[in-house]
A = this chain, B = another copy of it.
Amino acid sequence: MVEYTDIDRLAISTIRLLAVDAVSKANSGHPGAPLGMAPAAHVLLRHMRMNPKNPDWINRDRFVLSNGHACALLYSMLHLTGYDFSIEDLKQFRQLNSKTPGHPEFELPGVEVTTGPLGQGISNAVGMAIAQANLAATYNKPGFTLSDSYTYSFLGDGCLQEGVSSEACSLAGHLQLGNLIAIYDDNKITIDGDTDVSFTEDVLKRYEAYGWEVLTVENGNEDLDAISKAIEKAQQSKDKPTLIKMSTVIGFGSLHAGSHAVHGAPLKADDVKQLKKKFGFDPEQSFVVPQEVYDFYQKNVAEPGAKLNAQWDKLFEEYQQKHQQLGQDLARRLSGKLPENWCSKLPTYAPKDGAIATRKLSEITLENIYAELPELIGGSADLTPSNLTRWKEAVDFQPPSSGLGDYSGRYIRYGIREHGMGAIMNGISAFGANYKPFGGTFLNFVSYAAGAVRLAALSGHPVIWVATHDSIGLGEDGPTHQPIETLAHFRAIPNLGVWRPADGNEVSAAYKSALESKHTPHIIALSRQNLPQLEGSSVEKALKGGYVLQDVANPDIVLVATGSEVSLCVEAAKILKDKHVNARIVSLPDTLTFDKQSEEYKLSVLPDRIPILSVEVLSTAGWSKYAHQSFGLNRFGASGKAADVFKMLDFVPEGVASRAEKTIAFYKGREVDSPLRTAF
């Protein structure tokens, strides 16, 4: 039972004023939510087990500020409890190159995930709770509770309205994630004004419908005991996540408290002054922290946390003695290393192995490697038999009471929730312990999750999208399902691997790249239709992102392609050869990886002096980096048998060959440089 006294109130005032000062100094930012949520933040800190000197301690309680714009609050919390944030850092809030950017970023100490885009943080928190449940079920043993951490999240009306959070929270209720506790800042204010203008649903009823426990705190501005009791009650529910609806006044203490004016603009100078006076601080001073507040957090948060961390270290040492296999494995995962030689299990292929759809090759790969990688945790957005994402012996990640699996399971039935799946994967990855999440859907519907995909790239979460049905090759489902702009979109996102493997060797390379990645998410685009194993392909070559598949002496043209179009080019090259036109064939399974190779290597693949034609049955946007001319698809697809659609759009060997000839004619008599050469 935590007791609250004057020092708690002083700490809360300190948090409030630090946040307000940071926003005022930057003349930019959001003071309202920090003022409203400071009491809850302080009470939560008194319940959280964390070690500011070791932000990566695996069994720490985690806190996600889903309403990331309130980060002046978060930075204050982190500074006061002893994370690596100085007062000077707070003064540099929202300034270029500071440690305190306008929305919290994953790489900062104590920041669990990047937030700002609404709905993401709470959905990440669901992922963290999944990872924690899985870690506990996998490694905990009698007398050795290595994992029992909670995942806490603050969220506001914005996050609650976003569809991604609806998806993730519905799943969280189904999965009975008892260690997930969300505090909803019910302040009735959004940018457009009172929530009455657009958000009048019964939030608690909705969350009950999801299977959550719902609690209320009437006065989140001042009633520390009520907030405290709610958190403790939430901690007790082991088979339901909890939503605590906590009513606050946005901008509590400000002259404009309760209005949307305090949401996203600094308080006026006189308002700040009266606020400071109201809280017993000197109105002429800024960034003030009474020493007793530092001492208090040291004594009540930092030191206990460090002690618990040390105890955990000792426990884990003993665990490694008593449960050697599991202990070794967890130690390996905590060091961020994959098992030695895991990739010896990646299958390799030769042309005689016949034509197989790359989605099927992906399934075979997963079947081969899942047992090597306990950190691999996959799923599909309700397309398992189409994505082929589940190994035969998989145990589904389900609450044991469901009879459908248990928490040690590594296959997640995400449901028809692509965006939720993406944000959950980001959370699973962010949790630590080397978790490698993958999620399947149709390539076209990865676009539903664009917000989460972008954050994975921005933050550096090495999640994996298994994206099947990657072109008009999917046939009859038609243009609503056939990707066109999808890979152009994703290739334009920095730090996102976009693999479109052409055969089994390239699929293995894609998975090797994806699983060994520490900071780069991957999308692996896979075919529904069968594709031949290619002569000249290998895992090693594909790992360069682009390579010469088939060469000729004195090529008249270079054909560069991905996925299903590589074999198309092989066929086209035969037609050209009959006409005495020599074509080199280049496969370019991932441009991000290729871009990172040496200039020398890249120019050896896409050289000067030879016209280069790209072939990919998707948008041509972006291809000019690698080719002089591009044969692609800049219109929507059509519903029909795949072969008929390919034919109608001239994606047949003759179609490629004729465009190759036109390309050669176009550059006749002219010297071409490799497109890789740029002016700056």
Using a CB–CB distance below 8 Å, which chain A residues touch chain B?
Answer: 26, 28-29, 68-69, 94-98, 101-103, 105, 114-119, 157-159, 161-167, 170-171, 173-174, 190-193, 196-203, 205-206, 208-211, 380, 382-386, 396, 398, 402, 404, 413-417, 419-420, 444-445, 447-448, 450-451, 454-455, 458, 475-481, 484-485, 488-495, 619, 621-622, 624-625, 628-629, 631, 634-636, 638-641, 644-645, 648, 658-659, 662-663, 665-667, 670-671, 678-680
Contacts and interface: CB of A to CB of B under 8 A. Distances in A.
Contact of A445 (B386, B404, B451, B631): B451
A102 B161 contact: no
Contact of A680 (B94, B380, B385, B662): B662
14 contacts: A95-B639, A103-B477, A117-B444, A157-B416, A170-B199, A191-B385, A197-B398, A198-B382, A201-B209, A202-B211, A488-B492, A622-B622, A628-B679, A659-B680
Given A161-B167, A200-B211, A205-B209, A663 B639 contact: no
Contact of A205 (B97, B205, B619): B205
A631 B680 CA distance: 9
Contact of A382 (B119, B164, B191, B648): B191
Q: Which 6 A-B pairs rank lowest in CB-CB distance, beginning with the nearest?
A: A163-B163, A96-B640, A624-B624, A116-B480, A101-B639, A666-B679
B170 A161 contact: yes
A447 B445 contact: no
A39 to B, nearest CB: 24
A639 B97 CA distance: 8
Contacts of A413: 192-193, 197-198
A95 to B, nearest CB: 6
- Say how many copies of this protein the assembly contains: 2
Contacts of A481: 102-103, 116-117
Nearest to A161: B416
Contact of A415 (B198, B489, B679): B198
A652 B495 CA distance: 25
Nearest to A174: B200
A96 B639 contact: yes
A48 B193 CA distance: 39
Given A96-B645, A170-B161, A382-B192, A458 B479 contact: yes
A221 to B, nearest CB: 23
A665 B193 CA distance: 55
A68 to B, nearest CB: 7
A96 B638 contact: yes
B203 A158 contact: no
A648 B402 CA distance: 55
Given A447-B451, A493-B484, A417 B161 contact: yes
A648 B625 CA distance: 25
Given A28-B476, A117-B445, A485-B490, 7 more contacts: A96-B644, A103-B480, A161-B167, A174-B198, A174-B199, A201-B209, A492-B621
Contacts of A629: 678-680
Given A210-B206, A640-B94, A415 B199 contact: yes
A663 B96 CA distance: 30
Chain B CB count within 10 A is highest, among A196, A479, A480, for: A480
A451 B415 CA distance: 17
